Structure 1
Amino acid sequence: VGTRSDIPSDTLQQCESDAYPVCPNALAPDNLTPSECECADRSSIRLGGVVHGITTDSFWDFIFAPAEQAAADFGVELEFDRLEPQDDEETLHLKMAFKILSLCQSGVDGIFVSVPSLRVEEAVLKCLELDVPVVTINSGFDFSKNATVASGGEKTSLAHHIGMLEYNAGYGGGERLIRAGATKLICVDHAPGVSVTFERCEGIKQSIIDANEKGAGLTYLGKVDVPKDSAATYKVLVEERVGEGGDWDGYGFLLCGVSQLNSFLRVKEDHPKAVAGSFDVSNEMYDAFLSGDILFGIDQQPYLQGYAPVALLTQIAHTKQTLLNHAIETGPSFVTSPHPDR
């Protein structure tokens, strides 16, 4: 039986060349020749995005770029501006909430957001009341899976959450530090007050509790809050939490983000037997794997966290269909040195 793909067709070949059925504009790939394919025109779809990734945090480069690429691929309009650093997290979250409300009240066809705090949660609920489809990314999974509002006599929920389950990732990080010989563990938080890092530290804490129930005899020294922009203060705070000098044999640290790397390496210069793992990866982190200074990085595939929400919201706006699963997990994936003996 012949199928469409089996039948020679100049028109079909042309449409495949033009990336049918995803045609971002009315031109063929040469950007000069008008496309003759009957592709979906999504140019009227307008999406928004608001996240807590500020301009100075390089991790978010790998979310912003693919989001813009997805908008170009699907031929939709995307308003996704990056916020500047603020004096404190509360101010940042307040500006996020204002931007979220502004986009939803302006009539966007869908919006994706990170949800680091209650202030942002309240703005997201307002969007649901306005019948704007919402996808959460990166942070806010617990809120995302439970949030509902009454709209038109029915309950409206958030469409999806795209990201890593932070608690599970923190738990896995704790397990790996324990296997590496750490008996006294600390969670190092560069963003206190943000739900993501809180969940990560809760995860490592529970991994220690569970190990101790099996007789491990471990000590959790808690969460230490550190600054983002002062390696000297970082070192003082971490050393105060440990409370002793020496090489720190048996101490294990879970860093809540790759932005801590340089500061932690300064700590390790004076305490060379301390072991550590970190959330996220970067070129500098790979160098730290190779040198043995960091045992592992916890990758959450930020590219997917940028590209996927645009793709899903486009389909929701165009077809009114969503996937069955609420959570679309992009991690954790544990990245280690290719030389495990180091």
Structure 2
Amino acid sequence: MNTPPPPSAPHRSARGIAAAAAVCLLVAGCSGSGGTSGSALGAGSRADGARLKVALVTHASEGDTFWNLVRKGAQDAAAKDGVDLTYANDPDAAGQAALMRDAVRQKVDGIAVTLAKPQAMKGPVAAARAADIPVVGLNSGIDSWQSEGIMEFFGQDESLAGRAVGDKLDELKAKHALCVIHERGNVALEARCAGVKKTFDGQTDIVYVEGTDATATAAAITARLRQDPTIDEVVTLGAQFALNAVKSVKQSGSRARVATFDLNQNLVKAVKSGDVQFAVDQQPYLQGYLAVDSLWLYKTNGNVSGGGVSPVLTGPAFVTKANVASVAAFAAHGTR
């Protein structure tokens, strides 16, 4: 494996599929020689003996169950590694950037951050690098993490996932899909719908809704279904929005089916009952867990997952009525 650069050095621009990197990390950790910390350090300890401090900064909205899974994974990794973890979130890009700058000023030992709106995070990431604080990305920003100088990335290739959904809709003989984007300008969400449109042989329409207002979201979907009865598939980009869409289908009298990206405990029940055809699971718990664990590995053993050139992919995986039982128990525990 090539020796990875420290976080303050520019990253190489090559990208590749990271399945092997993911397996390596999960089984034994991919070794590298970047960083100044050595394996002689105690678990979760800095050179001065203090516990490592890691900040997780996301673009999550309050009450979004998806992010509870990300946070749970991060907390479990921190507990295992003996790391002090702080969590902060703001769906506003400027607010998220300010939270990351706060973490830099607090002189944490590592930062994990989402890049839903990458341009807004360029300055804070540069500030962290200038302070020799390693930064890893997760969830959003798979096309931007290297150019921003981030050390590692854990998440789903959203364009690939969208294309997979388009293929799935063709298998299900759908003809007209409505793709619901709940946050305008979020690069991950835009990539999902663009991917669906690229491979789906039928017609794909996009509707933007206010994701922080469940009532308004349901009303917007209901209106579109009433307006166009040829829509036979509603594709949402989050579990709670799929449940809104199920209600909208019933209220509108539409015959459309519902499919979604992302998973939570209530969505598992909806897949079991057949209200939702399938969900694309990007494993948010795993994203949070690996992001925090990777910073511990880097600080205590110099490891860099993917060698600093490839993302570690956590999805996509399809959850359908045929296999939902295999994830139901984990969903009940709050980890899927």
User: If the TM-score is normalised by the length of the shorter chain, which range does it land in?
Assistant: 0.7 to 0.9
Amino acid at match of 1:64: R
Instruction: Mark the runs of 5 or more structure 2 residues left unpaired by the alignment.
Output: 1-40, 325-336
Amino acid at match of 2:196: I
State the alpha-carbon separation in 2 of the partners of residues 303 and 141 from structure 1: 17
State the alpha-carbon separation in 1 of the partners of residues 170 and 88 from structure 2: 41
State the alpha-carbon separation in 2 of the partners of residues 322 and 116 from structure 1: 23
Question: Structure 2 residue aligned with 1:176, among 153, 168, 173?
Answer: 168
SS state at 1:281 partner? coil
Q: In 1, are the aligned partners of 2:44 and 2:52 still within 8 Å (CA)?
A: no
Corresponding residue for residue 186 of structure 1: 178
SS state at 1:181 partner? coil
SS state at 1:192 partner? coil
State the alpha-carbon separation in 2 of the partners of residues 262 and 271 from structure 1: 16
Q: In 2, are the aligned partners of 1:170 and 1:200 still within 8 Å (CA)?
A: yes
C-alpha deviation, 1:290, in angstroms: 2.5
Corresponding residue for residue 220 of structure 1: 204
Amino acid at match of 1:135: V
Question: Structure 1 residue aligned with 2:276, among 279, 284, 294?
Answer: 294
C-alpha deviation, 1:242, in angstroms: 4.9
C-alpha deviation, 1:127, in angstroms: 1.7
SS state at 2:204 partner? strand
Instruction: Mark the runs of 5 or more structure 1 residues left unpaired by the alignment.
Output: 1-37, 84-88, 148-156, 212-217
2:53 aligned with 1:69: no
Q: 1:30-109 counterparts in 2 under 5 A?
A: 40=43, 42=45, 43-83=50-90, 89=91, 92-109=92-109
Distance 1:235 1:105, change over 3 A: closer
C-alpha deviation, 1:121, in angstroms: 3.2
Question: Structure 1 residue aligned with 2:187, among 185, 191, 195?
Answer: 195
Distance 1:320 1:238, change over 3 A: same
2:280 aligned with 1:279: no
* Larger CA Rg, structure 1 vs 2: 1
1:252-274 C-alpha deviation (Å, 9 max, x unpaired):
22101112133211221133420
C-alpha deviation, 1:120, in angstroms: 2.2
Q: In 2, are the aligned partners of 1:177 and 1:275 still within 8 Å (CA)?
A: no
Aligned residues: 276
Q: In 1, are the aligned partners of 2:154 and 2:313 still within 8 Å (CA)?
A: yes
Corresponding residue for residue 268 of structure 1: 249
Distance 1:291 1:271, change over 3 A: farther
Identical aligned residues as a percent = 26
Q: In 2, are the aligned partners of 1:290 and 1:339 still within 8 Å (CA)?
A: no
State the alpha-carbon separation in 2 of the partners of residues 334 and 237 from structure 1: 27
How high is the TM-score relative to the length of structure 1? 0.74
State the alpha-carbon separation in 2 of the partners of residues 162 and 231 from structure 1: 29
State the alpha-carbon separation in 2 of the partners of residues 68 and 266 from structure 1: 34
Amino acid at match of 2:126: L
Distance 1:169 1:47, change over 3 A: same
SS state at 2:144 partner? helix
Q: In 1, are the aligned partners of 2:112 and 2:291 still within 8 Å (CA)?
A: yes
Q: 1:227-266 counterparts in 2 under 5 A?
A: 227-242=210-225, 244=227, 246=229, 248=230, 251-266=232-247
1:84-134 C-alpha deviation (Å, 9 max, x unpaired):
xxxxx5xx2212101111212332221100011121233223222332211
State the alpha-carbon separation in 1 of the partners of residues 114 and 298 from structure 2: 19
Question: Structure 2 residue aligned with 1:321, among 294, 303, 311?
Answer: 303
Distance 1:283 1:315, change over 3 A: closer
State the alpha-carbon separation in 2 of the partners of residues 200 and 185 from structure 1: 13
- Name the structure, 1 or 2, with higher relative contact order (CA <8 Å, separation 6+): 2
State the alpha-carbon separation in 2 of the partners of residues 202 and 41 from structure 1: 41
SS state at 1:312 partner? helix
Cα-Cα RMSD: 2.3
Distance 1:291 1:44, change over 3 A: closer
Amino acid at match of 1:253: V
State the alpha-carbon separation in 2 of the partners of residues 283 and 319 from structure 1: 36
Amino acid at match of 2:136: V
